[in-house]
Amino acid sequence: MLDLKLLANAGMFQLGWFACVLGGNSLWLLLPAGVLLVNGLWISARWTEVRLIIYVCLLGTLVDSLLLNAGVFEFRQEGILIPFWLMLLWALLATTLNHCLAWTARPAWRAVLLGAVGGPLSYYAGQRLGAVQFGFGL
């Protein structure tokens, strides 16, 4: 049976992904902020979800900022941290982990495989849409 909340969760993530990647640091970021708000209203275990969002956002920001400073990523704006829109994108990803992507948690190889394939594909799509460039001639 199709769970409409899971479908809505996946759809809202995709909507937020496109708003972040195509909108950059603009008013388009109100859309993914709204997605985070709606997600918060739907979830009964709000504090558990908020902690997960903070953890994933901080970890993603740290790793991507290290990659930025190592020259793997190049963005339009200068700085030692990734752009705000990418931080917001990490927060959006966190909203899917216990919901539409919960099926990847067990066995763990599913999450590893999805991250190993989906992560680079997401960055590749972002590069094709002009949101990020790859350093080192990648």
How many residues are there in the chain?
138
82 with 23: CB under 8 angstroms?
Answer: no
Cα 121 to Cα 128: distance, rounded to the nearest angstrom: 10
* Domains of the chain: total: 1
98 with 52: CB under 8 angstroms?
Answer: yes
Alpha carbon 105 to chain centroid, angstroms? 17
pLDDT in tens, 54-107: 999 999 999 999 999 999 999 988 899 999 999 999 999 999 999 999 999 889
* Domain, as residue range, for 111: 4-134
pLDDT in tens, 93-132: 999 999 999 999 889 999 999 999 999 999 999 999 999 9
